[in-house]
Amino acid sequence: MRPLCGLVGLALVLLTVASILRTLVVPRGKPGTLMMRLWRAGRVALCVTLRPFPGYELRDAALSWLAPLTLLATLICWLGGLLIGYGLLLFALSGLPLAVAVREAGSSLFTLGFASTDRPHLSAVDFAAAASGPLVIALQISYLPTLYAAFNRREVEVSLLDARGGEPSWGPELLARAGLIGTVEQLADLYRLWERLAADIGESHANYPILMGFRSPKPYRSWIVGLLAVMDAAALHLALSPSTAPGEARLVLRAGFTALREIARATRIAYDPDPSPADPIILTFEEFGNGVGRAVTAGFVAERTAAEAWPHFAGWRVNYESIGYELCRRSDAVPALWTGPRDWPHRSIPPVRPEDRRPTGQVFHRGGPTTRPAGQR
């Protein structure tokens, strides 16, 4: 039994170290399996628990804990794997009972030093365990600033998008507001900014997929919904007004679906790498027509009708729609317009618009209009 336990312990230590290195030290678009499995298991548990509660705000508040708890659970699993692995090694190399061997391994792993044996041939295992514990915790702590730096870069631009594309963001709304206030020419700057952000998201979220679980501070914001909104706006711009659409619209589309494909490869989402522009898309022509109507009614100048623009728009959207919908589903993003289904019953939430604000003191909220107290602004 002892030699077999020693082999099992050695294998467990090596597998744990490999998981740590793959997750924290060697990010190459191949995320650690342990962390992603814990995240998926936690997400399923939360979805089942929250199914009786229809409100999206409650669901968002609960899901905001998922990514931090996944990081904590991963650290516990790593330390637990090392504890059991080193305990089995000590059990195999000594005449100690299993409980005493695990106790000595824990004493060394957590550098407590309260349990030790005066046996030179066990010192190597004790020293390795003593070095492993602080190293794993230090690596996990150094991992957090990388995650939060990428999170902050992402959320700054998502927050700035609210004024342009609504909350939650929607591609036609972005064009509508630009047409309404006469800033269509400035959309080129927005496309240029989101081209760089898409590249950043593709690199960071492919290497650290747990970032998909870090939700925006406000429930109706989402990085994937914002990215889809900008890409849809660019595709609409090219389809409706090809002669005036800036070249940056093509660049942001290319950067966007390239980033989504990088994330898809890292998270094992199946997709067609070379779709035909004539392939069908999930978005219906009726939904497309409503979006075009919103943009044109608000003042966006269109050179083509909705029927004429539809095949051009679909030819762009076929490159990113399936991946975008799957990421929205997996991350339980706010169910905005044109973002696909979710794993829980929902209705699509349109963006809050300037005309929803009443000059009489009433403000339109999702639950209905309410009146501010006298004197409040």
Do residues 330 and 337 make contact, with C-beta atoms less than 8 angstroms apart? Answer: no
pLDDT digits (tens, 9 = 90+) for 224-250: 999 999 999 999 999 999 999 999 999
Average of per-residue pLDDT values in the chain: 87
CA distances from 299 to 177, 270, 289, 355, 365 (A): 8, 39, 16, 14, 25
What is the predicted pLDDT for the residue at 236? Answer: 97
Do residues 48 and 117 make contact, with C-beta atoms less than 8 angstroms apart? Answer: no
User: Quick check: 207 pLDDT over 80?
Assistant: yes
User: Quick check: 374 pLDDT over 60?
Assistant: no
Strand partners, 368: 365
pLDDT digits (tens, 9 = 90+) for 132-175: 888 888 888 888 888 999 999 999 999 999 888 889 999 999 99
Mean pLDDT is highest, among 56-60, 331-335, 354-358, for 331-335
pLDDT digits (tens, 9 = 90+) for 95-138: 788 888 888 888 888 876 655 555 666 777 878 888 888 888 88
pLDDT digits (tens, 9 = 90+) for 127-144: 888 888 888 888 888 888
pLDDT digits (tens, 9 = 90+) for 291-347: 999 999 999 999 999 999 999 999 999 999 999 999 999 999 999 999 999 988 888
What is the predicted pLDDT for the residue at 3? Answer: 85
Tokens 């020419």 -> residue: 185
User: Quick check: 73 pLDDT over 90?
Assistant: yes
CA atoms within 13 A on the CB side of 273: 2
* Strand ranges, E, within the chain: 362-365, 368-371
Do residues 133 and 300 make contact, with C-beta atoms less than 8 angstroms apart? Answer: no
What is the predicted pLDDT for the residue at 372? Answer: 36
